[in-house]
Chain A
């Protein structure tokens, strides 16, 4: 009886193992060429400004506390981060008067209509943008607003 059981087991193995191997089809995992995840924190507001001012900071920012923090999330590859601006309302205040910097102290740069690379080849982590406004004498009173766009591209790419 034991012999029969042993033979049956061997026969089962002979059939089952190749059959299982034959039936095994690995589930294809979708492949992604590029994954980028960026989170923005903060806001940019200047309140009421009386001209002339040369460097008026965003109301919520201070040294070590930027107006905007950009977080490169863990699933992202290395990226370059650029910035551009676009006037949405208000005449007489040129885009170049909307200033930014990676640091609270030091020089500032005016926004442009095309993207300018600010951070290069950065990985997971937080990246700061401080914002100021320059309002020359004679700027017409009224509401002045802009769109500020942050663009992350995979390192090595080019801004359009």
Chain B
């Protein structure tokens, strides 16, 4: 029985040992971030989200992060989740108020993607090193409904990382900028292509005037300028708009491009099935014939 107590005591001591060691270690202030997609496509009147991930695998102090929108086009609404808020922190049992969006605790580097991710945290792949858990900030961008399609805007988020419990004449911090390039796009998934030419006059064949009030048959298919989804309204009334039906297979939705790799991946099962069927058709009769011999 004594042995069990001794073993339990030793185990407890071993568990407790790393904590004071970490506290006595010289401070290491780590600020690590990964930005998700930089280029965002947003439908006017709608909102889009950019992501920034923060983690802390090389530090031994909690990293406090404050975020601020330092640049955005006029009229565009940009909010940050989680928002800036006050938080009470005990530093060596002394209460301190910090204003921050989020904080990132030191976390270990994991060789594999973690299966269980605690609430409020995200799994982050650390390039060439493995995985860890960290925090996510979402940059929610709303662009006005009257924004012209094709309009681009730059959103800049200024991040500041700071650490509590520093001593000395200078408090050290880190800063970083995150830029998102936003393009206003059409919400329609239908493919349309419009060529707007302001130099050429519309080719309209003069024909015998029909009875007043009856529309003429539109041959050839040249129509007066009319705004179409996915295009800006032409400024010059004299401009001509030629709408052409897309030739061949429909193109992938906007924002996606069908690359050679994608085509191969899409057809891979069919290719494999074909190869297997052909091989089976050749090999099975051969094997059966051999058996009969």
Chain A residues proximal to chain B, CB less than 8 Å: 2-3, 6-7, 10, 13-14, 17-18, 21-22, 29-46, 68, 71, 73-75, 85, 88, 98, 115, 131, 133, 144-153, 157, 160
9 inter-chain pairs at a CB distance below 8 angstroms, sorted by A residue, are: A10-B287, A21-B269, A35-B126, A37-B32, A37-B55, A39-B31, A41-B26, A43-B27, A152-B174
A44 touches B176 (CB 8 A): no
User: How far apart are A148's CB and chain B's nearest CB, in angstroms?
Assistant: 5
CB of B36 within 8 A of CB of A17, answer no
With A21-B269, A30-B36, A32-B35 known to touch, is A45 a contact of B169 (CB < 8 Å)? yes
A residues within 8 A CB of B273? Answer: 17-18, 21
Asked if B276 contacts A13 (CB within 8 A), the reply is yes
Which chain B residues border A146 with CB–CB below 8 Å? 169-171
A34: nearest chain-B partner, CB-CB: B35
Check if B87 is an interface residue, CB within 8 A of chain A: no
Contact status A145-B169, CB under 8 Å: yes
Q: How far apart sit A36 and B172, CA to CA, in the bound complex (Å)?
A: 18
From known contacts A36-B176, A37-B58, A39-B28, infer whether A44 and B170 are also in contact, taking CB-CB under 8 Å: yes
Q: Which residues of B contact A44 (CB under 8 A)?
A: 168-170, 172
Chain A residues, Cβ within 8 Å of B158 = 160
Min CB gap A11→B, angstroms: 8
Asked if A46 and B30 make an inter-chain contact with CB atoms under 8 angstroms apart, the answer reads no
Q: Is the CB–CB distance between B272 and A31 below 8 Å?
A: no
**Nearest CB on A from B91, distance (A):** 15
Inter-chain contact A144/B169, CB cutoff 8 Å? yes
Whether A41 touches B28, Cβ cut-off 8 Å, given contacts A3-B288, A33-B36, A75-B128, is yes
Are B34 and A32 closer than 8 Å at their CB atoms? yes
With the chains together, A28 CA to B207 CA distance in Å? 60
A34 to B35, alpha carbons, bound, how many Å?
5
Q: Which of B123-172 contact A (CB under 8 A)?
A: 125-129, 156, 158, 160, 166-172
The answer for the CA separation of A22 and B127 in the assembled complex, in Å, is: 30
Chain A residues contacting B269 (CB-CB under 8 Å) are: 18, 21-22
Contacts of B34 in A (CB 8 A): 32, 34-35
Q: Is the CB of B35 within 8 A of A33?
A: yes
Q: In angstroms, how far is the closest chain B Cβ from the Cβ of A23?
A: 9
**Nearest CB to that of A44 among chain B residues?**
B170
Q: How far is the CA of A35 from the CA of B31 in the complex (A)?
A: 11
Residues of the B chain whose Cβ atoms lie less than 8 Å from the Cβ of A131: 170
Cβ B36 vs Cβ A40 within 8 A: no
Interface string of B203-231 (1 = CB under 8 A from A): 00000000000000000000000000000
A151, B169: Cα distance in complex, Å: 19
Shortest C-beta distance, B22 to chain A (Å), equals: 15
A45 to B32, CA, bound (A): 26
Contacts of A153 in B (CB 8 A): 176-177
Bound state CA distance, A45 and B85, in angstroms? 30
A3 to B166, CA, bound (A): 80
A39 touches B169 (CB 8 A): no
A152 to B30, CA, bound (A): 12
Is B174 touching A151 in the complex (CB atoms < 8 A)? Answer: yes
In addition to A40-B174, A150-B172, A152-B176, 18 A-B residue pairs with Cβ atoms within 8 Å of each other are A2-B291, A7-B284, A14-B276, A14-B277, A21-B272, A38-B31, A39-B29, A39-B58, A44-B172, A45-B170, A46-B168, A46-B169, A75-B128, A147-B173, A148-B172, A149-B175, A150-B174, A151-B177
Between B70, B166, B175, B273, the greatest number of chain A beta carbons within 10 A of the residue's beta carbon is seen for B175
Residue of B nearest to A146 (CB): B170
Q: Are B33 and A43 in contact (CB under 8 A)?
A: no
What separation, in Å, do the CA atoms of A17 and B70 have in the docked complex? Answer: 54
Is there an interface contact between B176 and A151, defined as CB atoms closer than 8 Å?
A: yes
CB-defined contacts of B169 to chain A, threshold 8 Å: 44-46, 133, 144-146
**How far, in angstroms, from A34 to B176 measured CA to CA in the complex?**
11
Residues of B close to A151: CB separation below 8 A: 174-177
> What's the least CB distance linking B282 to chain A, in Å?
11
Task: Convert B178-199 into 0s and 1s, putting 1 for each residue whose CB lies closer than 8 angstroms to a CB of A.
Answer: 1000000000000000000000
